[in-house]
Chain A
Amino acid sequence: DGGITQSPKYLFRKEGQNVTLSCEQNLNHDAMYWYRQDPGQGLRLIYYSQIVNDFQKGDIAEGYSVSREKKESFPLTVTSAQKNPTAFYLCASSITGSSGANVLTFGAGSRLTVL
């Protein structure tokens, strides 16, 4: 079955460490997204990529980095510069083109806790 796989599901990090969250999709979607979810704040866009080797900052990109070397993969690195990284991170993908057909498909999420 097609879908989005995020790993790890739970991750603990010490302050000052960088961590990388994996996101892989086999839906043949061009666009991929990373969102951060905090209680009571909904979803906030970190980075998105419409095509391989290209990506754009979202609303809260500071302290994060991404790469898009393959269509299927869009890893997110949470760097030590991110002041408050404890959160639930969601990866999503969609086709591009006609807005009527665009639907976001989400992974199951990764919960990062900084100790």
Chain B
Amino acid sequence: GNSVTQMEGPVTLSEEAFLTINCTYTATGYPSLFWYVQYPGEGLQLLLKATKADDKGSNKGFEATYRKETTSFHLEKGSVQVSDSAVYFCALSGTGNQFYFGTGTSLTVIP
């Protein structure tokens, strides 16, 4: 079946630190992979996506590469800001228009 496993949090970083949030997946077929971000009290917003192996999704300084050989889609950012504090979800979409989410990783960036 399909599933997503992501790094447990919470993660606390100082401003300008490097961020990595690990995400691995199990899927049948060739899923699309996503990172969503959720700010307090809000819904989820798409951060970036990749639809096939070796694709790199990027947005707002965040990036993630679809690695089929390691079934991973790790989220990275070179220099985090206080405004990046949020909960980050890794997700995949498989056949039948179904979406599967990880449990979320809470990030706090301190000045």
Contact = CB atoms under 8 A, between A and B. Distances in A.
Interface string B46-58: 1001011000000
Contact of B46 (A41, A45, A96, A103): A103
Contacts of B43: 4, 6, 90, 92, 106-109
B42 interface: yes
Contacts of B104: 42
Interface string A95-114: 01001101111111101000
Contact of B32 (A41, A99, A111): A99
A41 B95 CA distance: 23
Contact of B52 (A42, A90, A100, A109): A100
Nearest to B51: A100
Interface residues of A, number: 26
A70 to B, nearest CB: 19
B101 to A, nearest CB: 4
Interface residues of B, number: 26
B89 A42 contact: yes
A41 B102 CA distance: 9
B46 A100 contact: no
B103 interface: yes
B72 to A, nearest CB: 18
A90 B43 CA distance: 7
Nearest to A90: B43
Contact of A94 (B44, B97, B102): B97
B103 A41 contact: yes
Contacts of A92: 43-44
Given A94-B99, A99-B94, A105-B46, 18 more contacts: A6-B43, A31-B97, A42-B104, A45-B99, A50-B97, A92-B44, A99-B32, A99-B97, A100-B32, A102-B32, A102-B97, A103-B46, A103-B49, A104-B34, A106-B36, A106-B45, A109-B42, A109-B43
Interface of A: 4, 6, 31, 33, 40-43, 45, 48, 50, 90, 92, 94, 96, 99-100, 102-109, 111
